[in-house]
Amino acid sequence: MKRLSVYFEAPYQVAVRDEPLPPLEPSQVLVETLASAISSGTELLVYRGQVPTEIPVDETIPSLTGKFHYPLKYGYAAVGRVIEVGSEVSTEWQGRCVFAYNPHESHFISSPKELIPLPPTLSPEEGTLLPTMETAVNFLMDGGPLVGEQVAVFGQGTVGLLTTSLLTQFPLASLVTLDPIPLRREKSLSLGAHYALDPTVPDALSQLHEALQQGRPYKGADLAYELSGNPAALDLAIAATGFNGRVVIGSWYGQKKMPLHLGGRFHRSRISMISSQVSTISPGLQSRWNKTRRWQLAFEMLQRLRPVHLVTHRFFVDKTAQAYSLLDRSPEQAIQILLTYGGE
């Protein structure tokens, strides 16, 4: 049996290969992919050749072992249906709709312990957003928003919009989002943000302070999230944060660099910068939280918020190169892109 697999072959070069599947071992299952989600953050870094080559692709996911060297299969948001089970696997797995942190490909072989069964109340497309929702949940766990705080979110791609959606569940004093793309600002407002600003205008910082303050005596954000993937936005996030505020850095910049201006107000304002990455849980929470509990919460939030409306484009897997080109060259047109595979 063969499968279609997406390969990053070089910067700005993506190919779909027809390759044989390895034989199914007794302890494994065969999954036919229904849909997979493209991450416009991490995957664009891989597409553009902007990832550091000295670190592992992901030390916590068996399907993503090795280093960032071309050619590379990548992706981590696949939903499919189990179509064959090994002799040592319970037949209860047969026909199950499952999520896997697996690269983009039409079929894959996996151990059941690496699969997450989808609740019947979630569609396959909604299931592909599990890792993005889990990341957004992790951002809130790391940032710890409080009742009445002023919060700014830089970047309104899929993960930024999901973070905004979660933050609207809190009784915040102000929730201000920033993104240079009008489509994303409009979506942000529709989700419940109080203001959505363009961070590229000359007076962006003064607009942000005005939107946050709104007659309150304290100036600056209590909490800011930098989720844009643009290192320059981190400088603006720091400048927008008030005394003893927190800046959660959820972006992965890869090889992109930008000087930070830390010699002025930052030095005297006791601002905390928090690195947030979903592969681990904050040490302060690990006594009560593990990944299973966080997955369950992410599923609950997917069912509550139903974010499939963030999907703007669907491409059949053989058109994958067009999907990445769209994200790279025309980001103003897209929010979330899915690959489809011709399954049910």
Q: How far apart are CA 260 and CA 85, in angstroms?
A: 53
Determine the Cα angle at 59 with ends 57 and 63, to 5°.
70
Domain ranges of the chain: 2-118+306-340, 132-283
In sign, the C-alpha dihedral spanning 59, 64, 68, 69 is: positive
How do residues 240-285 score in pLDDT, each as one tens digit?
A: 999 999 999 998 887 787 788 887 778 889 999 999 999 999 999 9
Please name the residues in contact with 320: beta carbons below 8 A apart, sequence gap of 6 or more.
6, 14, 16, 104, 339
pLDDT of residue 65: 56
Peptide bond into 71 cis (omega under 30): yes
Q: How does pLDDT run along the chain (344 residues), one tens digit per residue? A: 899 999 999 999 999 999 999 999 999 999 999 999 999 888 999 999 988 766 555 555 565 555 678 999 999 999 999 999 999 999 999 999 999 999 999 999 999 999 999 999 999 999 999 999 999 999 999 999 999 999 999 999 999 999 999 999 999 999 999 999 999 999 999 999 999 999 999 999 999 999 997 767 778 999 999 999 888 899 999 999 999 999 999 988 877 877 888 877 788 899 999 999 999 999 999 999 999 999 999 999 999 999 999 999 999 999 999 999 999 999 999 999 999 998 55
206 SS3 class: helix
Whether 132-283 and 2-118+306-340 are alike in CATH topology: the answer is: no
The Cα 279–Cα 65 span in angstroms is 14
Superfamily of domain 132-283: NAD(P)-binding Rossmann-like Domain (3.40.50.720)
Provide φ and ψ at 76, rounded to 5°: -150, 35
Helix (H) or strand (E) holding 311: strand 311-316
Residues 6+ apart with CB under 8 A from 170: 145, 147, 149
Cα–Cα distance, 38 to 60 (Å, whole number): 19
**Confidence (pLDDT) at 266:** 83
The token pair at 82 is: 């189990």
CB 77 within 8 A of CB 37: yes
Angle at the Cα of 71 from the Cα atoms of 315 and 63, rounded to 5 degrees: 75
Tokens of residue 85, six digits? 């089970």
Task: Find tokens 């697999």 and name the residue.
Answer: 5
pTM score, whole prediction: 0.92
The closest alpha carbon to 302, from 102, 135, 178, belongs to: 135
CATH superfamily of 2-118+306-340: Medium-chain alcohol dehydrogenases, catalytic domain (3.90.180.10)
**Distance, CA of 239 to CA of 224 (rounded, Å):** 10
